[in-house]
Structure 1
Amino acid sequence: MSDQQRFFILQFFILTLGFSILWLLFPVAGTLDLHLIQPYMDRTGHFPLKRDWALAELNHRYVKDILIAVYLIYLLKWAASYKWTALKPQRWQSGYFIGLVLISTSCIGILKSQSGHACPWDMTLATVHDFFWDFSATAGHCFPGGHAATGFALFVGYFVYRLTEPKRAWFYLFAALILGFVMGWAQMMRGAHFLSHNLWTAWVIWLINVLAYALFYKRFLGTQISPKL
């Protein structure tokens, strides 16, 4: 069995298993979502950490800006490869990298803009001594998780380098998982998202990368090892 066959059989299994787990165990605003977000709520249904500086500014703004800067480096490398011959061998990888980042984050943004799911902080209604969840709320367009998408978009690095630089590929994979989940969990602590929002973000971005990689697999076979960033 060729590398291509093994790889895509594995991806089919991963995507199918992931979809099944999310569909069965993580329905949006389901039991697990409500249980996991409960520690970050007070007894009236408010989120005390909603405007916490570390979560609202450091995580939501500065970490995202750093990742955007990384993506801009790839964009600049791709553009510069048309002027400097030393960068020409990396043109395909750089162009593919930034292209898939833009496609992945744009798809999440489009899905989010069309979604009727509200943010958790818009779904709670306070009573005299408690609160209840208003699952009919539609304000917010909060599904899937847009902020986590900036971190999960690093998945593309795994596909770009898996054939030529395996260690670098694994670095991007683990970086995407860590940053995506940390950024998503911080948003959950603020009440902006349920965990399911971010898990579906990861699944959708992985699916996009698998489909694109299948389309361009033969092109990647001809990619030469290029100098590291």
Structure 2
Amino acid sequence: MLEPTKLNFDKFVLVHFIIPLLLFVLVLAVLEYFHVDLWIAGHFYNAGLHQWPHKESWLTENVLHVGGRYFTYLLAAAVALCWLISLRADSAFFRYRRHLLFLLISGISGPLIIVLLKNHTHIYCPWSLELFGGDKPYVRLFDYAGGNLEVGHCFPAAHAGAGFTFLNLYFFLLLVKPDYKFYGLCFGLGLGMVYGIAQQMRGAHFLTHDLFALAVCWFSSFVLFMLFFRKQLQWL
């Protein structure tokens, strides 16, 4: 039998929810107030030529965007396969079947929430904005969008979210292999940042789009972890 790891409830919520939430709100407020989105995007946009030089480059488009998408699919398929194998009583993964189910569901939940938000938010991609040669107005996160604007289909960032969804590896390893939990954290953060930076270079997203995707993936994994493993959380 797999011995359950006991976690202090108060400390767990403080470290994994309250502090990250405060940091997220603070960083988002700073980015919005100081127009950091526009400042970063301006470094990737060629105003003289009215174009995004990296929009269709081999590295950012073919490797990190298209190739990254297939890499994410491959990782998701590997997780699904491991969970299916774990359903066999004679499998080496059998005792981890609940943990693998958490990994699978949490890996789907973040990107799904992001897609749902993208279909209802009125925030546009940089390459669509009048500021960068497009025809759409610049609408910040806390601006009033009005009733005449079309849905932007750009916020939060889906591609960065496909990387940040692997932040769930941190929660998975927290119980399965606690000494390796920060490797899971670094993998999810690193993959999401690589995807996000590539899309910023292409003009597809702002930094705040990526930050919001990170928050969605982290907090959705947190909530699901609380639901799946509440018995491991004790009032100590």
Q: Where on the TM-score scale, by shorter chain, does this alignment land: which range?
A: 0.7 to 0.9
1:193 aligned partner: 205
For the 8 Å contact 2:60–2:199, the answer to whether it is kept is: yes
For the 8 Å contact 1:142–1:193, the answer to whether it is kept is: yes
TM-fit CA distance, 1:209: 1.5
Normalised by the length of structure 1, the TM-score is 0.85
TM-fit CA distance, 1:178: 0.9
TM-fit CA distance, 1:37: 1.1
1:89 aligned partner: 95
1:165 aligned partner: 177
TM-fit CA distance, 1:26: 2.3
Normalised by the length of structure 2, the TM-score is 0.82
What is the 5 A alignment of 1:7-22?
7-11=12-16, 12-22=18-28
SS at match of 2:205: coil
Partner Cα separation in structure 2 for residue 104 and residue 219 of structure 1: 23
CA-based RMSD: 2.4
1:4 aligned partner: 9
Deviations along 1:165-198, whole A, 9 cap, x unmatched? Answer: 1233211100111110111011000000011100
Count of equivalent residues: 215
2:138 aligned partner: 135
Partner Cα separation in structure 2 for residue 102 and residue 14 of structure 1: 21
TM-fit CA distance, 1:219: 4.6
1:103 correspondence with 2:115: no
1:40 aligned partner: 44
Deviations along 1:132-163, whole A, 9 cap, x unmatched? Answer: 98326756411000000111001111011113
- 1:211 is aligned, of 181, 199, 223, to 223
1:57 aligned partner: 62
For the 8 Å contact 1:75–1:98, the answer to whether it is kept is: yes
Partner Cα separation in structure 2 for residue 39 and residue 17 of structure 1: 26
1:121 aligned partner: 127
- 1:74 is aligned, of 66, 79, 90, to 79
Give the gaps of 5 or more residues in structure 2.
Answer: 1-6, 140-148
User: Structure 1 counterpart of 2:117, which letter?
Assistant: L
SS at match of 2:100: helix
User: Structure 1 counterpart of 2:209, which letter?
Assistant: H
TM-fit CA distance, 1:110: 0.7
Identity of aligned residues (%): 26
Partner Cα separation in structure 1 for residue 162 and residue 103 of structure 2: 13
